[in-house]
Amino acid sequence: MPAALDIAGFSVLLLLVLAVAAPLFRPVRTLQITLVFSLAAVASLAAVVAGVMTVADGSVASAAMTLGLPGLPFHLRLDPLAGFFLVVIGLMGFFVSIYSIGYVKGYGGQRSMTQMICFYTLFLAGMLLVVLADDAYFFLVAWELMAAASYFLVMYEDEKGENRRAAFLYLLIAHVGALAILLAFGVMAGQSGRPVFDGYTFDAMRTAQLTPGWAAAAFFLAFFGFAAKAGVIPLHVWLPEAHPVAPSNISALMSGVMLKTSIYGICRFAFDFIKEFPWWWGGIVLVLGLISAVMGVLYALMQHDLKRLLAYHSVENIGIILIGLGLSMIFAAFHLPTLAALALVAALYHTLNHAVFKGLLFMGAGAVLHATHERNMEEMGGLIHRMPWTAPLFLVGCVSISALPPFNGFVSEWLTFQAFLLSPSLPHPLLKLLIPLGAAMLALTGALAAACFVKVFGVVFLGQWRGHQKRERIHEVGPSMRAGMLLASISCLLLGIFPTWVIGWLDTIPEQLCGGRLAESAGKFGWMWLTPIAHGRASYSGPMVFIGILAVVAVTWLLLHARATSSRRVPIWDCGFARLTPRMQYTASAFSMPIRRVLGFLFAVREQVEVVPHTNHPSLPGSLQYRLRIRDRFWNWLYVPQGDAAYWIARQVGKLQQGRIQIYLLYSFVTLIVLLVFLG
């Protein structure tokens, strides 16, 4: 049996080889796509195997490579935390690679596939290397590889101005974040007390003795950098721009997996490098998580663009993960290892779950886009009849993200709630009071997310077709796309039904990071029952709920279909109107109207109603036009002033450039004189 690190290394190497070899197959297009994406799926699977093995036995393996600069070799390390993220990346890489075979072929002959394939494999390899890297230098190289590859993937359809703008915004924020991470590493390395260049390894950072001030500086710089990548509010603006314009398989990877690498980074910094921190660090993480969760879902509710909506849901879910992490940090700061373990497991579990169901949803959105060539939900409807596979698979994703049992989203959010409800055991009165408020906000988030996905599924798949093109031209997607979505749906279900096994498997991570274990108490009553802390407090049985739901559904179905006459198909009841048209349906904006009315002050909403009078009878309205524009307030609050300030400064500096030679000469002359006066 080869070592886990070797398998992971093989996986990365295979991806890099694919990136180099892909152009060779260029003449045979179908072969190129099928071969490369199949092999990418194999490589992803290898990463999953390596990760599962490492997490299961809690082993730590490290290696120094001969690559890198002289005297600064690259270091690799595979510990359970890295292993877990290998699983997240590999699992989604596997599903999405299978899905991509069909999706990418759908682009037809009009553009080069090689670009997509090369950057796709580089992107996967970059993400794997980020979690494998064991020194700041290699980490940043991998981080930038990931960012650059994804930039080119967002730019894939670069003839559209919208795409170029989104990609630039993404690159800009990614680089500001990378700069902050670089500074954080600099602080850690500088304070590690080692000779100049030895501080760059993560080992040196683990043993560094930091003063509280420097530790806070390092952590918050890193947190800022990772938050920019994760899309934590207010650094989220690139997400709803970049995700919709990227090809859907890329959106699935970016949203499902790439954002998670920043969760990995935050875990690494907080629990592995710094270890001892005051509780307010966790408090800040928690508050930002709460804001991201609530604002993310509210913004998502307002969207009509399917992929944009999903992008805002990524903001929400990153918020939920950060809530878990923040709680875990608070518990760890008060030396409550079991509770810290619970919150950390909740966060990591949600990381895995979000990767799977968000990947599934983006793949579903891609399938819809592939079939209808439409992103606007108001132009869809009734797709369940035309896409009998995609619709139920998408529904699985919707139910999962809405945190409803028996799927996986429920388990991790439930665990987060359990962590919240245990906060009264904290020895700090203020926190005891405030944290339950957070629980209430998390509950609100869940409810709003459910409302949002009722809207998505209802408007896109139910009702009647609203689009311009002929409904008959819409076809179900091909087998590989269905396979990718089906596998992700099955994962959603399994992760939801057997949480006890997953937690037992995850147990080595909290043990190494915060010294607490969970599996013993969580699995006390066998795999049927999940009892995170004590069975008297709370328990959940995934299998029982699943069987119950299955039973109810089966009985209902039987009752409906037992006799052939028990159900009849008749025309839709038209409420007495003579003729029903698709335009009479409930629309997406109508669905979110009540929430827009109540919470409208949080958005920059502009509504316009225009009445065009009837041509024959001017007193009668002929037609009504309704325009709705919702903008992100953060854009105007934070980004526009910064951009304006930069332009203003540039314009002022530009005045130096007079265009007259004498003035330029005068500058050097005056400089010379001033220097002579002051230094002479």
Partner 1 sequence: MTHTFAAQLNSLLAALILLSAFALLAQRKIMGLVHIFAWQGLLLSLSTAVIGYASGEHHLYISSLLTLGMKVILLPYILYKLVHKLKIHRDIEAVVNVPTTMLLGIILVVFSYHLTAPIRELSNLMTRSTLAVALATIMLGMLMMVTRRHAVTQILGFLAMENGLFFAATSATYGMPMVVELGVALDLLIAAFIFGIFFFHINTTFESLDVEQMAKLKETD
Partners of 32 in the β-ladder: none
Query: Which position among 470, 617, 627, 660 is part of the footprint of partner 1 (CB under 8 A)?
Result: 660
**Residue number with CB closer to partner 1 (69 or 650):** 650
Pair 461, 384: CB distance under 8 Å: yes
Choose the binding region for partner 1 from 393-401, 407-415, 591-599, 661-669 (rule: CB under 8 A): 661-669
* 627: contact with partner 1 by CB under 8 A: no
Choose the binding region for partner 1 from 61-69, 316-324, 356-364, 662-670 (rule: CB under 8 A): 662-670
Query: Which position among 172, 593, 646, 673 is part of the footprint of partner 1 (CB under 8 A)?
Result: 673
Pair 218, 265: CB distance under 8 Å: no
To partner 1, the closest distance from the beta carbon of 636 in angstroms equals 25
Which residues from 133-172 bind partner 1, rule CB under 8 A? none
* 672: contact with partner 1 by CB under 8 A: yes
**Tokens representing 95?**
């599903």
To partner 1, the closest distance from the beta carbon of 651 in angstroms equals 7
* 583: contact with partner 1 by CB under 8 A: no
To partner 1, the closest distance from the beta carbon of 172 in angstroms equals 23
**Residue number with CB closer to partner 1 (536 or 659):** 659
**Residue number with CB closer to partner 1 (447 or 646):** 646
Measured CA to CA, the distance from residue 244 to residue 362 in angstroms comes to 10
To partner 1, the closest distance from the beta carbon of 347 in angstroms equals 50
**Residue number with CB closer to partner 1 (626 or 669):** 669
Per-residue contact track with partner 1, 630 to 659, x per CB under 8 A? ---------------------x--x--xxx
Q: How far is CA 111 from CA 7, 108, 156, 178, 253, in A?
A: 34, 7, 9, 31, 21
**Tokens representing 157?**
């359809």
**Residue number with CB closer to partner 1 (207 or 658):** 658
Choose the binding region for partner 1 from 262-270, 323-331, 583-591, 664-672 (rule: CB under 8 A): 664-672
**Residue number with CB closer to partner 1 (27 or 680):** 680
Q: How far is CA 448 from CA 56, 121, 232, 280, 313, in A?
A: 36, 36, 18, 28, 11
**Residue number with CB closer to partner 1 (626 or 664):** 664
Under rule CB under 8 A, how many of the chain's residues touch partner 1?
A: 16
Measured CA to CA, the distance from residue 13 to residue 7 in angstroms comes to 10
What 3-state DSSP class applies to 364? helix
Residue tagged 């077709």 (tokens): 465
**Residue number with CB closer to partner 1 (578 or 679):** 679
To partner 1, the closest distance from the beta carbon of 679 in angstroms equals 10
**Residue number with CB closer to partner 1 (526 or 659):** 659
Residue 510: asked if its preceding bond is cis (omega within 30°), the reply is no
Pair 284, 322: CB distance under 8 Å: no
To partner 1, the closest distance from the beta carbon of 640 in angstroms equals 20
Choose the binding region for partner 1 from 56-64, 198-206, 409-417, 663-671 (rule: CB under 8 A): 663-671
Choose the binding region for partner 1 from 321-329, 338-346, 579-587, 665-673 (rule: CB under 8 A): 665-673
Q: State how far Cα 129 lies from the chain centre.
A: 18
* 662: contact with partner 1 by CB under 8 A: yes
To partner 1, the closest distance from the beta carbon of 647 in angstroms equals 11
Query: Which position among 575, 609, 661, 678 is part of the footprint of partner 1 (CB under 8 A)?
Result: 661
To partner 1, the closest distance from the beta carbon of 78 in angstroms equals 55
**Residue number with CB closer to partner 1 (582 or 643):** 643
Query: Which position among 335, 665, 671, 674 is part of the footprint of partner 1 (CB under 8 A)?
Result: 665
Helical spans, DSSP H, in 562-660: 588-591, 593-599, 633-634, 640-654
To partner 1, the closest distance from the beta carbon of 672 in angstroms equals 7
Which burial class, exposed, middle or buried, applies to 20 when counting CB atoms under 10 A from its CB (0-12, 13-18, 19+)?
Answer: exposed
Per-residue contact track with partner 1, 482 to 521, x per CB under 8 A? ----------------------------------------
Choose the binding region for partner 1 from 176-184, 302-310, 379-387, 667-675 (rule: CB under 8 A): 667-675
Q: How many CA atoms lie within 13 Å of 61's alpha carbon, on the beta-carbon side?
A: 18
Query: Which position among 557, 586, 637, 669 is part of the footprint of partner 1 (CB under 8 A)?
Result: 669
Angle between helices 337-372 and 408-421 (to 10 degrees): 150
What is 211-261 written as a DSSP string?
A: -HHHHHHHHHHHHHHHHHHHT-TTS-TTHHHHHHHS-HHHHHHIIIIIHHH
498-509 burial, b if ≥16 CB within 10 A, otherwise e? bbbbbbbbbbbb
**Residue number with CB closer to partner 1 (635 or 669):** 669
CB neighbours (10 Å) of residue 582?
Answer: 13
CB neighbours (10 Å) of residue 546?
Answer: 17
Task: List the one residue out of 240, 259, 238 whose CA is nearest residue 168.
Answer: 238
To partner 1, the closest distance from the beta carbon of 670 in angstroms equals 9
To partner 1, the closest distance from the beta carbon of 644 in angstroms equals 15
**Residue number with CB closer to partner 1 (429 or 654):** 654
To partner 1, the closest distance from the beta carbon of 642 in angstroms equals 21
**Residue number with CB closer to partner 1 (547 or 663):** 663
To partner 1, the closest distance from the beta carbon of 678 in angstroms equals 11
Measured CA to CA, the distance from residue 398 to residue 413 in angstroms comes to 15
**Tokens representing 198?**
């030895």
**Residue number with CB closer to partner 1 (583 or 651):** 651
Measured CA to CA, the distance from residue 307 to residue 370 in angstroms comes to 13
To partner 1, the closest distance from the beta carbon of 665 in angstroms equals 5
* 110: contact with partner 1 by CB under 8 A: no
- Maximum pairwise Cα distance, the chain: 107
Partners of 77 in the β-ladder: 62
Query: Which position among 528, 593, 612, 666 is part of the footprint of partner 1 (CB under 8 A)?
Result: 666
Query: Which position among 70, 109, 571, 680 is part of the footprint of partner 1 (CB under 8 A)?
Result: 680
Measured CA to CA, the distance from residue 147 to residue 23 in angstroms comes to 22
Measured CA to CA, the distance from residue 356 to residue 84 in angstroms comes to 14
172-202 burial, b if ≥16 CB within 10 A, otherwise e? ebbeebbebbbbbbebbbebbebeeeebbbb
Measured CA to CA, the distance from residue 418 to residue 402 in angstroms comes to 18
Q: Who's near 126: CB < 8 A, 6+ residues apart?
A: 142, 143, 145, 146, 147, 149
Angle between helices 212-230 and 279-301 (to 10 degrees): 10
**Residue number with CB closer to partner 1 (109 or 654):** 654
To partner 1, the closest distance from the beta carbon of 645 in angstroms equals 17
To partner 1, the closest distance from the beta carbon of 399 in angstroms equals 56
Which residues contribute to the site for partner 1 (CB under 8 A)? 651, 654, 657-662, 665-666, 668-669, 672-673, 676, 680
